[in-house]
Amino acid sequence: MADDSAETVSSKAAAPTHDTVRVRLAEAGFAVPQENLSGVLANLTVLHDHVATLRGFALDPRSASAMRFEV
């Protein structure tokens, strides 16, 4: 059942936009020039996609992240 809720959360996560990036950076106290927002947005979009991919592996009991190695 926990797997279903994790998938729901990741599928509902909104991708960053120029507006959300600008607002979040301003909230954090960063003043980013308008011409740099596209680069920041591109990097955040890649990270967003990577997180969504990695969440899928964490839910798969066959994945390396779920394996336990005992010595």
71 part of a folded domain: no
User: Is pLDDT at 6 greater than 50 in this prediction?
Assistant: no
The count of domains in the chain is 1
Question: What band does 10 get if pLDDT is binned at 50, 70 and 90?
Answer: very low
pLDDT digits (tens, 9 = 90+) for 33-70: 989 999 999 998 898 888 888 777 666 666 666 656 56
**Maximum distance among all Cα pairs of the chain, rounded to whole angstroms:** 53
Q: Where are the beta strands (DSSP E) in the chain?
A: none
Phi then psi dihedrals of residue 53, to 5 deg? -65, -45
List Cβ neighbours of 31 (8 Å cut-off, separation of 6 or more).
Answer: 25
Helix (H) or strand (E) holding 41: helix 34-59
**What is the model's pTM?**
0.56
Structural domain boundaries enclosing 35: 2-66
